[in-house]
Structure 1
Amino acid sequence: MGYRKLHVYNESYKLSLEIHRLTMKFPRHELYEIGSQLRRAAISIPLNIAEGYGRRNHKLDYRKFIINAQGSSNEVVVLLQMIKDLGYIPEEEYLSLSNSYTRLGKQLNKFIDILQQEIRSLRPQRNTK
């Protein structure tokens, strides 16, 4: 499938697996609270990329899904800070994952910009004279 060739998909998928494994080590009471929220946010990123790819011929829809993926990436960054502050992960692990998700967010932002340029190029130009 085509979305599997996208770097942002592969990176987000790999990171979502890391997040899943990480949250399985949380205290029992957090598995279904912050752990569940973190897993859902992380998995939402590759899911939105894959679903959006299915609508790639409809650029506005595609862009919307990538924007949702970027929002989920931001959510993961906040949740990572929260679990670090709660003492569930050490500073080094937080920094590594947070930096990875920050890079992913920047890549998604670039992807959104590219889609936006494609959308603009498809719109008929207005004559301003």
Structure 2
Amino acid sequence: MQSLSSSWSKEIQTAETLYATRDIKFQEEYRRPLLSAMGLKDGIRILDVGCGPGLLVHRLGTLLKQSNIFGIDHDADFIAFARMKTKPQTNICTFLVGDTLSLPFPDNSFDAVTSHTILGRKIFP
């Protein structure tokens, strides 16, 4: 499997633009139903694979204040943006640059794993 360039934010869409367009999906009226549909509860460890600029991690962090939420993406610019946007009250959010096909975590490290956009970003031979 061949992945797209690690500079998606330079070649396709900036972190700022992607963050803003994804934020539409997370308007206040959809946040609680989203948590319910995903079966997420406070106090768990969550990983968002292919987190891009970190919007889902940030939104989960504001709703699940006792959880530890991690985001990983191969694009260093996205991760830098995500870290910059992390508010002090959501210091439960951690962002890592890494290979989303070879995760740097031991098995069973998380209670829940999300990946709401990555499958559309991989190229299969």
TM-score range, shorter chain: under 0.3
What TM-score does the superposition give when structure 1 sets the normalisation length? 0.24
The answer to which structure has the higher helix fraction is: 1
Determine which structure has the larger strand proportion and give its number: 2
Bigger CA radius of gyration: 1
User: 1 or 2 for the larger relative contact order (CA 8 Å, sep ≥6)?
Assistant: 2
